[in-house]
Each structure stands twice: as structure tokens, then as C-alpha cells.
Structure 1
Amino acid sequence: MLLAAVAVVGVLATTRTQGRLKLLSHDLMVNAQNRQRVLPDPGVMIVGVTERDQRIYGDRPKDAVLADALQRILAADPIVAGIDFFRSDVPVGPLGAYPDLAGFRRLSTLLQSDPRLVVILNTGMFPDRAAIQYSQLAPFLDLGDRLVSAEMVTDEADRVVRRGLLASQTEDLWLWSLGTRMALAALAKQQIGFGETPEGVSKLGEHPMPGLTRHDGPYVRLDAGGYQRLLSWPLRQVPRVSLADVLAGRTKPEDFAGKTILIGPLARSSKDYFTGALFNAERVDDPANQLPLRSIFGVEVHAQLAAQLILEGRGELPVFQPASSWWTYGLLGLAALGGTLAGALVWRPWASLLVVLGGALLFPAGAWLAMGQGWWVSWIPSLLAWLIAAGLGFLLVAWRETRSRQAISGLFRSYLPPSVADQLWAERDELVDGIRPIPRVLPATVLFSDIRGFTGVAERLQPHELFEWLERFHGQMTDLVTEHGGIVADFMGDGMMAVFGAPIPRTSHEDVQQDAINACHAALMIRETLPKLSAELTERGLPPIGIRIGIHSGNVTAGAIGGRSRLQYALLGDTTNIAARLEQLKDPAATIDDHCRILISAETYALVRDMYQAKLLPLQEPLKGKTRPVQVLRLIGPSEPSSLPDPGGRSQAG
């Protein structure tokens, strides 16, 4: 089982899809938390340029239009307003053909004069200070930390945004990201900002906030450049208004007062959208603006990061971070081992199913609770490890139990009645140790039989005739014993030993009594059917059969004897010896024409006296090997001479 668990861990830990499964773990939990949790309002809002706005103001708002909108927003006293539009070194004019220098100067002056404004820099076009210095954006250098980056980080496996870049470094520029700078402005009133713990870990306020490393969750071997954090997507949807609403006066001052405002494109034609972790990407404007499933505008990503940092900085949301890769692999190993053990409960299939299903539910439930505390646990690979290992454990134990069942069935061979086999298997924990019946003392009735004059017959018949003769006889004997709830424990050439009351222990006197009745009934049925068999044998030129039967009741020691390659069910003890001696006993009253003589002990007769007639034999000496006399009776027949007892009233062994 341990090897099965190790194999499952090895396969899942090395498969290429493991990384995708870990990321899917993140997405499912983020969406579940996003739909269910209720958080304080972080005060983040978007002023979006929609498809309708573009039809009014062009593909991108001109600097003058943007300046008008900013003045209206700033008049409502927001905490901060961030511009998620690139300003190139050529001012924006109608169709880009006629530079609006006046509009640009107006926007530039507004940016420099109001410390509440933040603007993004196209770091691809302006990688260093020199590139900015010799462009129309030279005044932007005076903005200091209000000049920010708008870079996005997507996962290489599926190009989905799950991480936020808090800060980035170009050649000689260190820039906060737009979302981070907006959050810092919102937290500044509460004197919350970035610092370091004594251990050198970044913190926001009093809350440690380590960046992602190469050893975190699915981000092993991550390019951890800049300061990256996992996005927890705290807002189901960021509140928003359109640019046209602002310019047309359809908004109220209280819509912006004390808020963190981001201004950016919310138009599909802008191409400024990404695949995000959220599945419920709802849109509030016209259907033509609907994005593909899971898509999210860039300004929304910045707003989600800002909201997350604001809530984390205030202590209203746990700092979100992934469990380390060591935790991930440790959970994977425990899941595989636990699944293997759960699947091994195959001997109780319903219990096994309940344990496996219950255990499977623990993984998403545990991940949910962990995420509520700010930890992302990669649970889908562990869930798969649990289920696969449970299936392997189930198959492994089922295979072993099939082998055990075959071994037990082989031990009793074809003479084990189906009812006994079913009960023996159902109670195997109490009755069987591995493939061996547990040795135990059982109350039972033992029947021995032997063919009279067998030596002479064996000398007269050819080998094939002798075996045909014995096979016909033993086949009929075995059928009658089995029909009466007994099992044939051994064949000894022409002899046979059968037991009634094994291998299933009897728990009441009535069951012990019924076993004795069954043994006597079987013996009388043998005597009744033997003349017909002898007649059939005579017709084939074979000699008739006469037999002796001895029956005794008492305790026997039952178990298996032999090695792994050959096991035999054995009955030991005085009861077996006395039954054999009764079969061998010379009966002075027997005649040569007596085709089936049946002798029983007084112990057996005491159990069947209400059902059968018997005649006491006057013995002159003890049985062979016995020091004290044993009362022996000859079984005559049922108490009612007209018929034998109904075999349907017997107690089957099982």
C-alpha cells in the first residue's frame, strides 16, 4: 500500500498538468470566496471609457476631454484619482493628426498642480529617465511617485492574470504599480504604509506582506522580478460610471467624495483586457461591450489590486499568500497515503465509499477555510491523489481478498456448500487468519464410512474400472452429505470422513442437536439409495457396494494443516477417533446381506433419540485405543417407520 501511495505522488508531482491543476485550485477557491464573503467597502471606483464614450469622444479621450473630466472628479474631493491611459510623446488630437497642444499643456499643468493625481507611464516606450527627459513627457518627471507602472503579470501556463505587480524596476526608474499607488494614497490618512519587519520582510501597516518567491505553491522556478503578490479578487464587481456620465453631470459629488478613483478604458475595442481568475465577468453597459468568458479590463485588475491592499492594510482581509511548495508536496503525500488506506476498507464497501467521499470533501472544505485565513492551498492535485490512491488501494485489497477467497475455497474444494462458503467469507475476520481457518474447538458430529471388502474388489478390477466404481460411490455420498449441511473433510481411498457443524461454530444446543440429526439423516439416505447404485453398477459389470458407517458427536479441534502450496482442512481429537473406531467395529448382529451398517455413539443418540430408533449393542471390550467402555448403538431408522424426517428442517451450516 505504501508503494502505491509513493507511485501516485510520483506521477502527480512530475506530470506537466500538475501546474495547471494547482492554478485551477486557485481559481475555484477565489470564485467561491468572491461569491460568498462579505467585506467592508474599500472605496474603489472606476470611471470607464465605454464603447458609447468612444463613439462620442473618439477611440481615446483627448487631453482636453480628460482634463475636463478630472476637474469635475477632483471637485468632488476624492482621495486619489489614477489615469490608466498612456500619454505618448505626441499629444493626442483628432485622429492623431492635429496635436492639441493646449489640451496637453492643460492636462500637464493639472497633473503637476494636484498631488491627488496619478498617471501611468509606458515603460516600453520610455524605459529610463533620459527617454522621458527628451520627450513631451518631460514635465512628468516632476510627478515623483505619482508616475506609476501599468504592467500586468500573466501565468505562463495559461496566460491568466492571478498575480499583481506591486512595483517594478526599469533601467533607472523604480515605479509603484497603479493599483499599489492608489492603495497607498487611500491608506495614508490612517498613516498606513509599507515598511519592513525585523526579519527584513515587507509589511503593510502591521501586516507582513512577503512577495512571491521561487518556492511558493505552483510558482516554483518563478521569475520573481519586481514585487509580486497573489490577487485575492476581493470585489465581485468594481463600482463604475462612464466618462460621458461625468462630463454630462449625471454623477453626484458624493459618488466620488473620499473614494479611490481609477480612470481607464472599459471598451472591448480598446484591446486592454486580459483573462482573469474570476468566472463571473459581468458587464453593465451595452451587449456589444461584453467580453469573452473570464476576461477582465486592465483598469479592473488595477482596481482589484488596490481594493485588496486597502483591505489588507486595514486588517479587514487576511494577507493572501500561497502555501510553500513543501506544504503542497506534503499534502500530496498525505492524501495519497490516506486514500490508499481508505480504499483498503474494501472489506466493508459502503464504509469505504463513505470514507473516500467524505475525505474527498475535506480537500475543498479545507482549502476554503485556509483561504478564509489568507492561505492558498493547492487542493486539486491532492484530491486527485486521494481518489487515485483510494482506487488503487481498493483494487489492491480486492485482488488480495480474491486470492484469499480462492485459497479458502480451494481449501474446502468443491464439497463446501454455497451457504457455508458465503457465511465463512462474510465472517472471515472471526473465522479466518489470512488463508487459514483459525484453529478452534467446535461441537460437531463426525461421520466415517468405509467400503466392506474393498481389498478384494481392488484386486479384481482394472484401474479404470476401480476408479469409475469409486467415483460413482463417492459422488453420491458427497452429494448426500452436502445436501444435509455437512462437508466432506477427507477421502481415504475407499473411506470418507464428513463433519456436520464445521467450519462455522455452533452457538446453541439446538444447532448442535440439528447437526447430529442431519448426520443420521444423511446416513439413512445413503442406506436407502445404495441398493439402486449397486444395481446400476452390476448392470455395468461392476460389483455391488456394501459399506460401514460410524457416527459420533463431541468436540473436535478444527484447522488447516500444511504449507502455502498445499493446505488441508483437518479435524483432530477424540471425537474423530471414536467415529473411526465405530465404523471399524465388528457387529455380531450384522449379516453378509447388510449393505449399510450404521453405528452411532450414545452421545449422538442422546441428541437424536426423539427422531430415530436405535438398538444398543452388547460390547464385551472397549473400542480399540480406549480404556473405558463406549456405549454403541445400531441406527435402525426414524421413530415413525413410515418415512424419514424432512431434510428441510435441518439447520444448514451457514
Structure 2
Amino acid sequence: MYKKLKQFLGQWRGVLIATPTVAGLIIALRLTGTLQLLEWAALDQFFRFRPLEPSDRRIVIVAINELDIRKAGQWPISDAVLAKLLLKIKQQQPRAIGLNLFRDLSVPPGHEALVDVFESTPNLIGSEKVVGNAYGDSIAPPPALRKLNQVGAVNTVIDADGKVRRALLSVTLKNGETTESLATRLALIYLEAKGITLEEIDAANFKYRLGKAVFTRMKPDDGGYIGLDTGGYQILLNFRNHSCRGKLGKCFVYQTVSMTEVLEGRIPTDLMRDRIVLIGASAESLKDRVFTPYSNSPFTAPTGVELNADLTSQILSAAIEGRPLIHVWSEPGEWLWIFLWSFVGATVGGRLLHIHSRMTGIVLVGSTLAIGSFLAFLAGWWLPIVPVLLALGGSGVAITAYIAYTESEDRQAVMNLLGQHVSPKIAQAIWRDRNQLLKGGQLLGKNLTATVLFTDIKGFTTITEQTEPETLMIWLNEYMNVMAQSVLDHDGVVDKFIGDAVMAVFGIPIPSNKREEIAKDACAAVSCALDMGAKLKALNQQWQEKGLPTVAMRIGIATGLVVTGSVGSRERLNYTTIGDSVNIAARLESYDKSLDGGICRILIAEETHRHIQGKFPTQFIGTVQLKGRKQPVQIYLVPLQNADKI
């Protein structure tokens, strides 16, 4: 049991370290409010992406525009004009009327007529600004409506970035007096006619039922908010996405008519029947605009009366149709969500081997998470998306760094064994499959099919006798470097240097199991031999100019079964290849030294010939008995094209 636990902890150590570390840092960062603006921006984007919804036909807006003000001849419009407007609206028998205009002072003439209209219209709700803020002091309601308790608050809650995402359903003053918002009053009047009234569910937690909807007051750290001022009964606005949102010109989210059209009777006679009518200013000169998730300039920002229409519509739709309100998880729930996706990021990063795979995996998981969060938003849930994506990506980066650190020992073991004798491509393949190839810092012994290449310099003994030792070693190393590079360029492994001989193997240490893979290794070996011949020709030209010896070389190539693995002591290990194919390649290189092949004689065995047939020109030499072998071998010469003879 202990052994299994130890093995588990060893395999998952990086994940178990990265997950809580990254999650803790993200949660701490969130608690400081650093992520607040990003989370608001993500919420705004969700609003813009949501499907379009039709206008709420239960609401009509009477907008007072610039033309209306010019016709009235003044602003504020006189009490007489306002009284006439209200009487025209009353004639259409609306369910409720919201006067989204401040009218704490009389505007002669016609004050007495306006008071009479106020007192004779029980479904008319006036406006007051209950609490002052940075944008102005409190403003009292019309005195006549105050006496009749027909007043609603129109205080706007603005976030730190200047946008409105929350709304007040009611405001409670320090003296304990509570004033419902204008939108709340209008919605309750409308719903009362349908037999829907407000029910208390949990007063201590400010939870109330209204038809199909359950309202809960926001807390200071709900959603992406940190340290929110939760004075009053606040909820998150759930805007309808409409084709006119954020658009310039005469495009309205709600059915809108002008004051002049109402006064002149240029509207249908039943346009307002049994509907909520909101009266407010839309004239640009009055600057009654608010920024919302859909606003990108003052010209596309909705008016204050449209914002109240949004809240009224939200209450009606939630209570009657069950349209979702926006809910959030508890703070511990959100922390757990961040922790979970930190674990997912670390797991994805830890299980995928390649850095590109890790990045792709994290991106795919992050995309899935974003889509899932958006679908949850459509269902009425605002889930943390920014901190979760940061946790996901952060854990992926952390586990990648951890893996890079812990893999350094294995990498060093591979480099100690193979040194600079493999190409980057093969080194990458070895590293990819290191769990199958490495054990205890050694490459495991394997039986596999490979192609072995042996080279040797003709007349090397004579050259050593005629050349100074220092010059000889420089000359020989130059030759070896060129030959070894040719092996690496053709994805071979330099097995060893033996004096002036080079042994290279193609198809190790990653096994080639399919016939086409074995054939590819054989072709690579023959291509390498031809390249060696071409490079030796270039070397000879350079050496001749310098007065150094020029040489020819012999190459033997054989394909077949070999055994590969680590050989040596703890202090010195070498990765090597042994087997019959190694012996055949060596014997082919030294076979009948009188057989001329030009600057580079290339002899191949019959198995190699079978794999390269039709891809390289060859010449059959014969069936020969190689030294140390009982079975005869068919051998072929691969001519070095365009090579001069020595």
C-alpha cells in the first residue's frame, strides 16, 4: 500500500504542487480586486454574445426629444403641457404610468391642473432621487404624489468603470424608511392585476418570491465584485439583447413615441392600453445617458428612462415567464471552481508530452470552459471565467516549468549515453519515448531491424607513417566531423569511431517495425553513403590545395536484426549495436580491396538491396562467402555518380 502511494505521489507530485499554488495565487489576486475590471469585461462580452430577444410589448416609452422641447418652448416643460400629456395617456387606459422626470418644483403655468391630474391618477408613479451621490444631490418627488405615496426611486448604481450592471429594487434610508424603485412600483402594479404579489421566503437573507421568480439581494463579493457597497436591495441587471442595442439612429429597444405625437393624437388609440407607460427625456442636450455593457460611446448609451424600462421588463419577464435572473455561486463555491480548473490545467499540462500539445490542450480546454460558462450565463448563472482561465493557463505553465526542471536528470542520462552522435530529430524521438527506452539511466536492450553502415579509409596506415602526428590528428578529425555530420543529416546514429573507421546505424533506438519504415532506413543509409562520397571529393580538393593527403574510402552496408543497448560500467556507459548485420557490414567494407569503386566504394548486402531496389542504381557483384560466415551473401555495388577515381 505504501509503495503504491509513493508511486502515485511520485507520478502526480508536479500536479499536486502546481494546483494549490496557482489556485491560491489566483484567489489571492482576485480578493485584492485586481481582476474585477477583467471579470466585468467578460460579463459584458457575454451580454453582447447572447441571442437576440424581441422587444417587451408590455412597455411603451414616451420620449421627450429635442423637437418636443422646441415645440414646448422651454425646459423643463410647463406644468400645463405635462398635465395635457398625462391626460392624453390616461385616455388610453394604461396599466401603470411612470413619470421618469424630476418634478419637485412647479413650472408655471398650469400647476393646479397638473396637481389635479396627479391626484386623479392612482396608477401614476413619480420619481425621486432618494440618496445623493457623486453625480448630484438627492431630489425630492412631486409633493402631491408624495402625499399619495405614489413615488418610486430612480437612483442609478454605477460601477467603477462607469457602467451600469446593477439595479436597485428598493432603497432603505438610515431612519429605516424604505422606498421602492420606480421600476419595482410599476411592475408590482402591473402584476397585481394578474394576481401576482410579492411573497416573503426568507426575510433574514432578503429572499422574496414574485410569481415564477425568486429575488435575492446581492452580497459584497458576489460574482466578479469585491467589497461591493450593497446599500439598498440590489440585483444584477439581465439586459435583453436587442438588434437596436448599441446602435445609432432611430432604433429603439422598446416601442417609443414622442411627446408631440401623443399630444397631437398621432398614435393608435389602443397603443398604451393595459401597458406600462414610461415618460422620460431623450433629448441629447439633457445628457440623461448611462453606459451599459452594450455601450461603446455616449451616442449609443441608453437614456435613463430606457434603463428603467430594462429593469421593469426584467421583473415582469422573471415573474410571468420565468426568464432567468442572474445568480452567482457562494464565494467558497467559486474558490472550489478555481481550484478544480487549476487541477485540470496541471493535469493536461502534465499528461501531454510536447509543449505544442500542452498549449493546444490548454487552449481547447479553455475554449470549452468559456463556451460552458457562456451557456451557464444563458441559463442565468454568472460563473467566474477570468480567474478560472488564469488558473487553467497558470497551472499549465507551472507544470511545464516543473516538468522541464525534473526532466533535466533524464536528459543528462540520455546525453551521457548518446553524446553528439544522434540528430536532433532522433534525440527528440528518444526523449518522447524515454519512458519506454530508459530505465535507471540506461537505454534498455532491444532486438530490432536496422541498417548498419561501416566506413574505412583506403591506405590509412601509409598515411599515418608519412604524416606528422599533430597534422594527422587535425586532418583525421576534419574527415570524421564531415562523415559524422552526414550520418546525422540522414537521421542515423554514430555508433562509434574505431581508428579511421566509422560505424553508423539507421533505425535505432526507436524501432522500425513496418516494412516501409525499414526500407526508409535502408534508403537513408545508402543516401548517407553517397553523400559521404560527395563530401570526401570536396575534402580532397581542399586538402590538395593545402598539400595534405588525399584519400578514397570503402563503405559496407547491411540490413537485418541487431541488438542495441547500454554497455559498460557505472562510470562509463556506451550505447552500442551488435549482431550479425554489424559483422556483415564490416566484412563488406573490407571485402576484396582490389575491387575498385572510385573515390568511395559502396557495397551493400542483398537485404539492403531488396529495400532500395528501383530507388538507386546498383550493380550485382556476385554471391560471395564473407569471412566468418557460413552462408553466402549476394552483394551489390552502388556506384558513386560523377565521382572521379583516384
TM-score scaled by structure 2?
0.71
Counterpart position of 1:248: 264
Counterpart residue identity of residue 22, structure 1:
E
1:611–1:645 Cα contact (<8 Å) kept: no
Larger CA Rg, structure 1 vs 2: 1
| d(CA) in 2 for partners of 1:140, 1:70 | 14
2:451–2:521 Cα contact (<8 Å) kept: no
| d(CA) in 1 for partners of 2:232, 2:453 | 90
Q: How far did residue 614 of structure 1 move?
A: 6.0
Counterpart position of 1:298: 304
| d(CA) in 2 for partners of 1:13, 1:347 | 31
Counterpart residue identity of residue 69, structure 1:
L
Counterpart position of 1:266: 282
Q: Deviations over 1:422-444 (max 9, x none)?
A: 47756975688588866421234
Residues 340-379 of structure 1: pairs in structure 2 closer than 5 A? 347=354, 358-359=364-365, 361-379=367-385
| d(CA) in 2 for partners of 1:318, 1:331 | 22
Counterpart residue identity of residue 44, structure 2:
D
CA gap 1:425/1:306 in 2 versus in 1, 3 angstroms: same
Counterpart position of 1:87: 103
Q: Deviations over 1:426-477 (max 9, x none)?
A: 6975688588866421234656678999999989976424524643665687
2:48–2:241 Cα contact (<8 Å) kept: no
| d(CA) in 2 for partners of 1:85, 1:352 | 58
Q: How far did residue 310 of structure 1 move?
A: 0.7
Residues 135-150 of structure 1: pairs in structure 2 closer than 5 A? 139-144=144-149, 146-150=150-154
| d(CA) in 1 for partners of 2:102, 2:155 | 12
1:13–1:329 Cα contact (<8 Å) kept: no
Counterpart position of 2:630: 631
| d(CA) in 2 for partners of 1:461, 1:446 | 31
Q: How far did residue 82 of structure 1 move?
A: 1.7
| d(CA) in 2 for partners of 1:480, 1:13 | 56
Structure 2 unmatched runs, 5+: 1-13, 133-137, 243-252, 612-617, 642-646
Q: Deviations over 1:28-78 (max 9, x none)?
A: 222333x61347x35111222222222232201222322222222222211
| d(CA) in 2 for partners of 1:29, 1:230 | 14
- Structure 1 residue matching 2:308: 3-state secondary structure: helix
1:78–1:259 Cα contact (<8 Å) kept: yes
Residues 150-169 of structure 1: pairs in structure 2 closer than 5 A? 150-155=154-159, 157-169=160-172
2:111 alignment partner, one of 99, 104, 108: 104
- Structure 2 residue matching 1:255: 3-state secondary structure: coil
| d(CA) in 2 for partners of 1:518, 1:233 | 70
Counterpart position of 1:279: 295
Q: How far did residue 211 of structure 1 move?
A: 1.4
Does 1:20 pair with 2:19? Answer: no
1:612 alignment partner, one of 621, 624, 627: 621
CA gap 1:136/1:186 in 2 versus in 1, 3 angstroms: closer
- Identity rate, percent: 28
Structure 1 unmatched runs, 5+: 94-99, 126-130, 281-290, 624-629, 649-654
Does 1:31 pair with 2:38? Answer: no
- Structure 2 residue matching 1:296: 3-state secondary structure: coil
Counterpart position of 1:651: none
- Structure 2 residue matching 1:275: 3-state secondary structure: coil
Q: How far did residue 307 of structure 1 move?
A: 1.0
1:516–1:604 Cα contact (<8 Å) kept: no
| d(CA) in 1 for partners of 2:400, 2:259 | 62
Counterpart position of 2:64: 49
Q: How far did residue 214 of structure 1 move?
A: 1.4
CA gap 1:333/1:647 in 2 versus in 1, 3 angstroms: farther
2:199 alignment partner, one of 189, 192, 195: 195
Counterpart position of 1:119: 126
CA gap 1:491/1:181 in 2 versus in 1, 3 angstroms: same
Does 1:505 pair with 2:512? Answer: yes
Counterpart residue identity of residue 161, structure 1:
V
2:30–2:36 Cα contact (<8 Å) kept: no
- Structure 1 residue matching 2:224: 3-state secondary structure: coil
| d(CA) in 2 for partners of 1:240, 1:605 | 87
Q: How far did residue 270 of structure 1 move?
A: 2.5
| d(CA) in 2 for partners of 1:516, 1:138 | 99
- Structure 2 residue matching 1:611: 3-state secondary structure: strand
Per mean C-alpha deviation after superposition, the further-off stretch among 247-256 and 400-409 is 400-409
CA gap 1:317/1:601 in 2 versus in 1, 3 angstroms: closer
CA gap 1:402/1:137 in 2 versus in 1, 3 angstroms: same
| d(CA) in 1 for partners of 2:107, 2:412 | 86
CA gap 1:180/1:560 in 2 versus in 1, 3 angstroms: farther
Counterpart position of 1:65: 81
Q: How far did residue 308 of structure 1 move?
A: 0.8
| d(CA) in 2 for partners of 1:612, 1:230 | 89
2:99–2:280 Cα contact (<8 Å) kept: yes
| d(CA) in 2 for partners of 1:362, 1:266 | 42
CA gap 1:391/1:140 in 2 versus in 1, 3 angstroms: same
CA gap 1:612/1:401 in 2 versus in 1, 3 angstroms: farther
Q: How far did residue 186 of structure 1 move?
A: 0.5
Counterpart residue identity of residue 36, structure 2:
G
CA gap 1:9/1:366 in 2 versus in 1, 3 angstroms: farther
Counterpart residue identity of residue 612, structure 1:
I
| d(CA) in 1 for partners of 2:75, 2:41 | 36
CA gap 1:562/1:510 in 2 versus in 1, 3 angstroms: closer
Per mean C-alpha deviation after superposition, the further-off stretch among 451-460 and 375-384 is 451-460
Per mean C-alpha deviation after superposition, the further-off stretch among 355-364 and 193-202 is 355-364
2:604–2:635 Cα contact (<8 Å) kept: no
- Structure 2 residue matching 1:27: 3-state secondary structure: helix
**CA RMSD of the aligned region, Å?**
5.7
2:450–2:518 Cα contact (<8 Å) kept: no
TM-score scaled by structure 1?
0.70
| d(CA) in 1 for partners of 2:429, 2:464 | 43
Counterpart residue identity of residue 162, structure 1:
R
| d(CA) in 2 for partners of 1:275, 1:541 | 84
- Structure 1 residue matching 2:98: 3-state secondary structure: strand
Does 1:557 pair with 2:563? Answer: yes
CA gap 1:425/1:185 in 2 versus in 1, 3 angstroms: same
1:167–1:174 Cα contact (<8 Å) kept: yes
| d(CA) in 2 for partners of 1:225, 1:512 | 78
CA gap 1:445/1:189 in 2 versus in 1, 3 angstroms: closer
Q: How far did residue 190 of structure 1 move?
A: 1.7
Q: How far did residue 193 of structure 1 move?
A: 2.1
Does 1:177 pair with 2:181? Answer: yes
- Structure 1 residue matching 2:266: 3-state secondary structure: coil
- Structure 2 residue matching 1:82: 3-state secondary structure: strand
Counterpart position of 2:7: none
| d(CA) in 2 for partners of 1:610, 1:78 | 104
1:500–1:516 Cα contact (<8 Å) kept: no
| d(CA) in 1 for partners of 2:262, 2:192 | 26
1:443–1:501 Cα contact (<8 Å) kept: yes
2:566–2:575 Cα contact (<8 Å) kept: yes
- Structure 2 residue matching 1:249: 3-state secondary structure: coil
Q: Deviations over 1:3-27 (max 9, x none)?
A: 7775598467478662122112222
1:444–1:512 Cα contact (<8 Å) kept: no
Q: How far did residue 223 of structure 1 move?
A: 0.8
- Structure 2 residue matching 1:369: 3-state secondary structure: helix
